[in-house]
Structure 1
Amino acid sequence: MAEQGSTVELYIYDLTNGLASLLSPSIIGRQIEGVWHTGVVAYGREFFFGGGGISSCAPGGTQLGPPHRVEALGQTFVPFQVFADYLQGLSATTYSPSSYNLLEHNCNHFSEEIAQFLCSAHIPKHIVAQPEELLAPSTRAAVQALLDNLVPHGPQMIYTNGARHRQDSPDYLTLNTQIEEARAASQELDARRSTLAEKLARKERRRDKKRKKQQRERGDAPPDDDDDDMAEAVEAAGAPEELSRAGPSSDALAAEADERRQDELRKRSRDPPIVFSDIDAVQEYEKLAKALEGAPLSPEDRQSLDELQQYLVQGEGSWVLGDDFLAFVGRLLNEPSLSSEVRVALLRCLAAGALRDDVSLLLHQDRRHHALLNYAAAVDTHPPAEQHALALFLCNLFENISSSEWLLYISEWEHNGQPLSNIRATTKVCVHSCLSADLELRDVGTALMHNIATKEVKTVVFDEVCVELAMALLQLLQWAPGEEHLWRACKALARFVAHSQDVPQLVAMIGPDPSAFR
């Protein structure tokens, strides 16, 4: 069933409340309409970026008051939980509190980024470009003076880089408390707020419990039944001790439980994906480590390799993969001095990790550099072994709903002078693999084609690629493939017929006759 879309709007605020238009000629020598702050409204919340990092509130609920104007950006069909995971990745990387810069990396750059992510829209160019127009050394001090004179209490009222340097008034504290309460009331955000902390706390609690048990066995410490009983009760409740004391609200816990039920229902109702779960994560990591022996690795590279070992071999959560991990992946995939064996081993490690339900948190960190999908878009230039490992990685990402949805995002970026998106890179790997003369690659390619076609997404996602995928299937059917590949192709083609009005016409013109496959 198609999901209900959410309206996406841009809220535009003038930090000077109209004074910039009047006073800018005398202060900076030319007139500007306003000093702009923006937030993006979707899913009934307003999302914005400032010195405190990424924040959200009720639409128009910041200390700026009502917006100067509102512009419609479109509709999004990205599930809210995918968007929440994406924001979590941004908040830890490119849009962390410490990355904020008043003129060069601000709320407007953030609004442009998430508008592209949600509905492939752009915010007005003059808003994003305003800092660049005012960045000349001769005007920088004047711009700062303008903000100091026109923005109530100085620009730190809205924009801070680290701690605030002003005394908070009682009115501001009251309003800020109300904003925080509204944010806490958002069930969707609360439901995910403590996942990583929970894993860490559980692990530490188990270690502490084991340590106490060993001490009691040696007679070094008296038994502490109360603490053990509390730990067991907390463990049974599925929450770490720290959270049980500070505790998420009952509404948040109920929302989290409901979200898990919904995810489970979605998994049960969907067509089972075809994945290759027989891949051994430990063996693949050992192959990668051996292939990198003697390679000139920096200390950062070795740290990332150790993080991968913790993730794949020791079974730690994706939280162990640091902010530089995907940069490390990009270097290995694109460094010409490294052997193809390194890239194959790395991709097979990723294919093993793709089967885990927390891999989506890693994928969303690739939003800025697109290391994985830029490499995927050049699939036809890679050696056969790399092509197979790459297709295996993409295919296994369909094991979980959130990672499969990441593969089908339609927001674009520029690569080698051409527009590229997640779904276009995925489509290219799929078509190339399906039509390969290599039967092993074709096997993975037809599985990937099946997974894409049976994915329950909005028809708009397939508008630009549906015909391309269907043409590949029709060509494959002309080759009289084996029964397993034939079944996957026919099932995928039937789904594409439902997704696009153009596909039935292609079948009628090109053939084969559907009755031949009764």
Structure 2
Amino acid sequence: MASEEGVPVDLYIYDLTHGLASFLSPAILGRQIEGVWHTAIVVYEREYFYGGSGITSCAPGSTSLGAPQQVEKLGTTFVPFQIFNDYIQGLGTTTYAGSAYHLLDHNCNHFSDEVAQFLCGARVPKHIVSQAERDLPPPLRLALTSMLEQMVPDGTQAVYANGVRHSRQDSPDYLTLNNQIEEARIASQELDARRNTIAEKLAKKERKKEKKRKKQRDHDGTGDAEENEMAEAVEAVEAREPVSLAGPSSRDLDVEDEERKAEEQRKRSRDPPVVYKDIDGVQEFETLSKTLEGVDLSAEEKQSLDELQQYLVQGEGSWVLGDDFLSFIGRVLSDPDIKSEARCAALRCLAASALREDVSLLLHQDRRQHAILGYANGIDALPPEEQLALALFMCNLFENTSSSEWCLYISEWEYRGQPLSNIRVTTKVCVSCTLSPQTELRECGTALMYNIACKEVKTVVFDEVCVELAMAALQLTQWAPAEEHLWRTLTALARLAQHSSEVPQLIAIVGPDPAAYRGTSARVDEQIDLIMKKLK
């Protein structure tokens, strides 16, 4: 999983012709091109690329192309490695299968551009991705293709012959397992060598001690205690694991991983999210299938429904959800000819999926169409049943770190001519449900507000929505809600007051006075104390 500091994402840029294109292009093409660019994404200490053999990876810079001509830092990713690996597996069997490769129109640069967007929202320089369209009119493309085939007969296949291929027939954990096996093999060899050395030294010392003990026994017969003491010391030394000078041992890595998990658990124990785990994914899928009976689904949409069954019912990884899946969800959510019951069932299926960590792969794919958040932005116009199913989905996204961070992205995107961002849509759903007169919607709304406010993120995120969330919380507080909803609301206010200096001012000016609710419960009083400290 990606660390809290994130993982760097780099773009390696190569000239496939090693300068020959610049030299020969004037004579062959009638104009000069500086190079024929090949790119690869370097992340998680691997170099990922696309060619005629499909998606492959290797150690950074270990190809026959040598060192990259240029390295461009694209940014930092917080996408967990397993999610990224599932994403690569999915691309390798769909859009970027080996059979889909084309030297000019669908190549390594298009792959790098798409992966860069997925990882950190960055793009490959436009002059690289659009080189064919920019430099070559259609009649000259054939000439360049012929020239490249002469310069690089096997395309990129020969370059990456020793890499690891990524396709569906490989287990999603193949790359991780491959790396772990290699690391374990090296560590085992080092460990055996050190143990042999220590064993030889201990054996030599033991022989010397045994001679001394024998003399002592012969002299006064009192060597038994010393013998036992020495035996215990030898056992203690033998039990120690030697320190590897070549890097962290497998035990060190295990300890580090346990510490990371403990830290994550500590955060969750302090402010565990409010999620709804009682939702039955199998039952929700059956409901969706029944409500779609009679709907004229295309072959692609039927395939997407089958993929959802594999993911939700059969427990397959999110890599089974193809490129058309979100188009299918988008139609269910937006087609007026499809019943509202189907939309509710689809959203509840998503709510069940949100409890799985690999749902992040699906969420990141939605950056192209914004099918889910575009629909969510219109929550005010939805029937109450759809609002509830949508809010349930949004709450459950806070079960895992990566999906909760997706809810709070601040980067803007355009939907039907309107600038939006993930955090603004999430906030709109939260406020709408929190201030709803319906108890069930208020239940999910206060849960979502609590989840958002208790999320440990940079202050800049809350700068976007702090005031809006605080105003909604204060308005609900005026209605004297039930203890559970009051506690969530005051907890959110206490956290928001820590993030923004404007929130304490709002509480003091707008009211009501939090102290008026003292005595409701011990945990409510605790949050009131935190708020009052900020009001002083």
Deviation string, structure 1 residues 238-260 (Cα, Å, up to 9, x no partner): xxxxxxxxxxxxx9999799868
Which residue does 2:264 correspond to in 1? 266
Offset of 1:444 from its aligned partner? 0.8
Please tell me whether residue 351 in structure 1 is matched to residue 351 in structure 2: yes
C-alpha change, 1:291 and 1:11, in structure 2 (3 Å) is: same
**Matched position secondary structure for 2:28:** helix
**Residue of structure 2 in register with 1:210 after alignment:** none
Check whether the contact 1:285–1:349 (CA below 8 A) recurs between aligned residues.
yes
Q: 2:361 & 2:179 partners in 1: Cα distance?
A: 13
Q: CA deviation at 1:87?
A: 3.4
Unaligned runs of 5+ in 2: 181-248, 518-527, 529-536
User: Greater RCO between the two (CA within 8 Å, min separation 6)?
Assistant: 1
Q: In structure 2, do the counterparts of structure 1 residues 193 and 59 end up closer, same or farther at CA, with 3 Å as the change threshold?
A: closer
Task: Give the alignment of 1:81-480 within 5 angstroms.
Answer: 81-134=82-135, 136-149=137-150, 151=151, 153-154=152-153, 156-158=154-156, 176-177=161-162, 179-180=163-164, 189-191=175-177, 262-263=260-261, 266-267=264-265, 269-270=267-268, 271-309=271-309, 311-312=311-312, 314-318=313-317, 321-323=320-322, 324-366=324-366, 368-409=368-409, 413-459=413-459, 461-462=461-462, 464-480=464-480
1:427–1:112: structure 2 CA closer, same or farther, 3 Å change rule? farther
TM-superposed CA distance for 1:306, in Å, is 4.5
| 2:28 is the counterpart of 1:38 | no
Partner of 1:492: 492
Aligned partner of 1:112: which letter? D
* Corresponding residue number in structure 2 for 1:219: none
Q: Which moved more, 1:331-340 or 1:16-25?
A: 16-25
Aligned to 1:73: 74
Quote the Cα distance in structure 2 between the aligned partners of 1:360 and 1:281.
Answer: 17
Shift of residue 277 of structure 1? 2.6
Q: How has the CA–CA distance of structure 1 residues 321 and 176 changed in structure 2, closer, same or farther, with 3 Å as cutoff?
A: closer
Letter in 1 for 2:176: D
Task: Pick which of 278-287 and 507-516 moved more.
Answer: 507-516
Q: Which moved more, 1:404-413 or 1:116-125?
A: 404-413
- Check whether the contact 1:191–1:255 (CA below 8 A) recurs between aligned residues: no
Same amino acid, percent of matched pairs: 61
CA–CA separation in structure 1 for the residues paired with 2:444 and 2:19:
59
Q: In the TM superposition, what is the alpha-carbon distance from 1:300 to its structure 2 partner?
A: 4.4
Shift of 1:3: 1.7
Distance 1:190 1:255, change over 3 A: farther
Match of 1:213 in 2: none
Q: CA deviation at 1:381?
A: 3.4
**How far apart are 1:64 and its partner, in Å?**
1.8
1:236 matched residue in structure 2: none
State the TM-score, normalizing by the size of structure 1. Answer: 0.71
In structure 2, what is the Cα distance between the partners aligned to 1:192 and 1:427?
42
Q: TM-score w.r.t. structure 2 length?
A: 0.69
The separation in 1 between residues aligned to 2:17 and 2:356, in whole angstroms, is 49
Write the distance in 1 (CA, Å) between the matches of 2:149 and 2:383. 58
**Which residue matches 2:483?**
483
Shift in CA distance, 9/359, structure 1 to aligned 2, threshold 3 Å? closer
Equivalent pair of 2:56/2:164 in contact (CA under 8 Å): no
Q: Could you give the per-residue CA deviations for residues 1-44 of structure 1, whole angstroms, max 9, x where no partner exists? A: x9223333322222222233333233222222222222233343
Shift of 1:93: 3.8
In the alignment, is the contact (CA less than 8 A) between 1:40 and 1:47 conserved in 2? yes
Letter in 2 for 1:266: E
Contact 1:16 1:34 in 2 (8 A): yes
Confirm or deny: 8 A CA contact 2:308 2:321 kept in the other structure: no
Q: Separation in 2 of the partners of 1:180 and 1:496?
A: 47
Separation of aligned partners in 2, 1:319 and 1:119: 20
The CA deviation at 1:65 is: 1.4
Q: Deviations over 1:317-358 (max 9, x none)?
A: 346954244333222122221121211122122223333455
Size of the aligned set, in residue pairs, is 439
Match of 2:193 in 1: none
Report the Cα distance in structure 2 between the residues aligned to 1:40 and 1:260, rounded to whole angstroms. Answer: 29
Deviations 1:73-118 (A, max 9, x none): 3334444444444434444443333343322332223333333333
2:310 and 2:8 map into 1 onto residues whose CA distance is 41
* Cα distance between partner residues in 1 of 2:46 and 2:503: 38
- How much has 1:67 moved relative to structure 2? 1.6
The equivalent residue for 1:247 is none
For residues 411 and 511 of structure 2, the distance between their equivalents in structure 1, rounded to whole angstroms, comes to: 33
The residue type equivalent to 1:39 in the other structure is A
Deviation at 1:509, TM superposition (A): 5.8
Aligned-pair CA distance for 1:288 = 2.5
Q: CA deviation at 1:462?
A: 4.4
Structure 1 position 55 matched with structure 2 position 53: no
C-alpha RMSD over aligned residues: 3.9
1:491 alignment partner, SS class? helix
SS in 2 for 1:157: coil
1:303/1:338 CA distance change after superposition, 3 Å: same
Letter in 2 for 1:113: E
Unaligned runs of 5+ in 1: 159-163, 195-250
Q: SS where residue 351 of structure 1 aligns?
A: helix
Shift of 1:283: 4.0
Report which of the two structures shows the higher radius of gyration computed on alpha carbons.
2
For the residues of structure 1 that align with 2:117 and 2:410, how far apart are their CA atoms? Answer: 9
**Secondary structure, aligned partner of 2:122:** coil
State the Cα distance separating 1:463 from its structure 2 match.
Answer: 5.0
Q: Which amino acid aligns with 1:492?
A: A
Deviates more, 1:472-481 or 1:67-76: 472-481
- CA distance in 2: counterparts of 1:512 and 1:188, whole angstroms: 57
Deviation at 1:137, TM superposition (A): 1.9
Change (3 A) 1:455 1:369: same
- CA-CA distance at 1:404 after TM superposition: 3.0
Shift of 1:395: 1.1
Q: Secondary structure at the match of 1:388?
A: helix
In the aligned structure 2, how far is the partner of 1:148 from the partner of 1:114?
Answer: 26
Distance 1:465 1:94, change over 3 A: farther
Provide the rounded CA distance (Å) in 2 between the counterparts of 1:442 and 1:386: 14
Counterparts of 1:257 and 1:99 in 2: how far apart (Å)?
43
Amino acid at match of 1:35: V
Contact 1:477–1:512 (Cα < 8 Å) also in 2: yes
**AA paired with 1:443?**
E
Cα pair 2:46 2:57 within 8 Å, conserved: yes
